[in-house]
Structures are given as C-alpha cells and as structure tokens.
C-alpha cells in the first residue's frame, strides 16, 4: 500500500483525527469550517490576462524522492521581460490549500503567471489530492506531523526558481493551509523572500524573537466570519507586526474562510476580486518596482 494511502487511512480514524498536536487542532478547525464543502470546479475560475504555459516539473528532492510541482509562465517570456525592462522574470512560490495541488491551484498559478511571473506551485502532500473534508483533514494532519519537512519543500521551490529560472526576486503566496505554511516558512527563513501573501492562514508562527528577524513585507487577507482562523487571532498578529514595526498590509473582509476559492462552497466574488487586486498591486510593488 502506498505510504500516503496508508497514512490517510490511519489519520481518518476518529481517535487519530488531525494526526498530531502541531497540525491536529488546526486541521480540525479547517474541517469544521469546510463541513459539506467540495473542491468542485466552477465557471468563476478566471483565465490569465495574457497567454501562459504550464507544465509539471521536478523542483528538488527529499530522501531520494523527487518533489513534483506545477510551473506556469507567460507564453512569450521575452515580450514580458522587454515590457518590464528586466533580464528575467520574478518568481512566486505558490502553496496549495488543504485540498492539495489540484486543478484549482493550477488555474490560480496560471493566473499569477499571467501577471508577468514564473509561478511554481509546490506540492506538500506528495501527489495526494483530497476530494472531501475528511480526506483533506487527514492529509493536512499527516503533513503537519513534520512541519520542518514542509518548510524544506517550500525552500526547494524557491531554490528552483532562483537557480533554474534566474528569478531576481521571489515571493511566497498561499491559501488556507498554504497561508499558514507561508507564515511558517517566513518564521524559518525570515529574509529569504522579497514579499509574501497569505490568504486566511494561521499566523501563529510569526511571534517573539522570530518576528524580530523578519524582513519580507507581508500582505495578509482575513475573513471576519472565519472560524478556522479567528479574526481575533488575525488582529493579534496585526498588533504584533505593528509593535515590532514590521511591514504588513492587513485587510479584513466580511466573508468566511476560503472566500477566494472559486471551486469551493464559500466563495465570495466581491471579496475575492478585491483581495486579488490588492495582491497583484502588492506583488508588482515588491517584485518589479
């Protein structure tokens, strides 16, 4: 039986729900918020502004196993470089939601590439993708058993963009589970990225001495009706960043968790588009200007 399949079965057992203290409670909160949800594709998924090309790539390895992700870039890279006045395109490491690296994340990665970037969606679930909240909870809980390995995976994505694509600057962007991993990666590498965007992710890793070392400016999106990542936790993070005098663009939306996911039941078009506009402006400011 494949490793992830076996662990998925174990994690699904009631007494082991969440699979561990680190990611367990967080996975349980996500499950409560996503109850009855499915990652079903809808017509709300938007195409890139310019033609892009996407492909599966190996971006590193861990314990002899290759990391396989999804890389998207403008179809006419030379034209974009010429328009931007640079020799190479900036890169974005994209971290998937708790569902895994599915078609929705690939579509979002292509949309980011359509803004003039090489966008690499890393895979923290080892090719596994969830179709139900129960399986997503199990996958997230199992993955969070070894958060340091997840951070190493994300770091491999940045290294790939820097070495294979000559990205002069790189940003980190994630949603849901990926938003939390954005904060966790910044805590481990506070000066590695030029910018970071987190959608409704748990910001707890950025606190104390770790926060003092942070260099990357952050754009944070939170929903006031989110039960997985409470607005109180979000505002506490905002206050910590302010007290530490760290650059934070903080925004709240009258929406719930996963409001920017067009393939979910909790999609909020108005909030999603406002967050997208802020995201593209933020990335352009810190990756191009």
Query: Quick check: 129 pLDDT over 90?
Result: yes
CA atoms within 13 A on the CB side of 29: 20
State mean pLDDT over 53-63. 95
Could you read off the pLDDT of 71-110 as tens digits, one per residue?
999 999 888 887 877 778 999 999 999 999 999 999 999 9
Q: What is the pLDDT of residue 87?
A: 78
How many angstroms separate the CA atoms of 112 and 289, rounded?
Answer: 17
Task: State CA 170 to chain mean position distance.
Answer: 14
Q: Which helix (H) or strand (E) holds 135?
A: helix 133-143
- Confidence band (pLDDT; 50, 70, 90) for 224? very high
Question: How many residues does this entry show for the chain?
Answer: 289
240 contact partners, CB below 8 Å, separation of at least 6 = 206, 207, 211
- Cβ neighbours around 196 below 10 Å, total: 26
The topology under which CATH files domain 3-287 is Rossmann fold (3.40.50)
State mean pLDDT over 281-287. 97
Query: Quick check: 164 pLDDT over 50?
Result: yes
Closest CA to 263 of 75, 158, 76, 111: 111
- Angle ∠(159,165,168) on CA atoms, nearest 5: 75
Q: How many helices (H) and strands (E) does the chain have?
A: 10, 8
Q: Which residue has the higher pLDDT, 71 or 16?
A: 71
**pTM of the complete model:** 0.90
How many angstroms separate the CA atoms of 135 and 47, rounded?
Answer: 28
Domain-wise residue ranges, the chain: 3-287
- The strand pair at 65-74 and 118-122 is best described as antiparallel
Sign of CA dihedral 151, 154, 160, 163: negative
What strands, in cross-sheet order, belong to the sheet with 52-62? 52-62, 65-74, 118-122, 91-95, 170-175, 195-199, 218-223, 248-253
- The strand pair at 118-122 and 170-175 is best described as unpaired
Closest CA to 97 of 230, 229, 283: 229
């Amino acid at each position: 039986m494949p490793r992830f399949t076996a662990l998925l079965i174990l994690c699904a057992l009631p007494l082991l729900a969440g699979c561990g203290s680190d990611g367990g409670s967080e996975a349980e909160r996500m499950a409560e918020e996503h109850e009855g949800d499915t990652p079903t594709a809808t017509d709300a998924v938007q195409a890139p502004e310019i033609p892009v090309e996407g492909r599966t790539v190996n971006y590193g390895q861990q314990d002899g196993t290759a990391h396989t992700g999804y890389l998207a870039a403008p179809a006419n890279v030379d034209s974009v470089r010429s328009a931007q006045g640079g020799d190479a395109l900036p890169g974005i490491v994209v971290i998937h939601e708790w569902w895994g690296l599915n078609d929705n994340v690939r579509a979002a990665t292509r949309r980011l590439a359509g803004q003039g970037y090489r966008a690499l969606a890393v895979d923290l679930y080892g090719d596994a993708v969830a179709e139900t909240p129960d399986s997503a909870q199990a996958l997230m809980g199992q993955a969070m058993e070894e958060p340091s390995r997840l951070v190493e995976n994300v770091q491999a994505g940045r290294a790939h963009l820097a070495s294979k694509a000559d990205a002069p600057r790189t940003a980190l962007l994630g949603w849901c589970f990926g938003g939390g991993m954005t904060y966790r990666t910044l805590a481990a590498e506070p000066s590695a990225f030029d910018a970071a965007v987190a959608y409704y992710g748990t910001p707890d890793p950025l606190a104390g001495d770790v926060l003092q070392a942070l260099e990357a400016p952050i754009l944070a999106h939170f929903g006031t009706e989110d039960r997985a990542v409470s607005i109180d936790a979000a505002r506490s993070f905002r206050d910590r960043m302010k007290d530490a005098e760290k650059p934070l663009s903080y925004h709240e939306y009258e929406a719930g968790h996963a409001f920017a996911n067009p393939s979910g039941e909790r999609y909020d078009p108005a909030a999603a588009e406002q967050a997208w506009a802020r995201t593209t402006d933020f990335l352009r400011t810190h990756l191009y200007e």
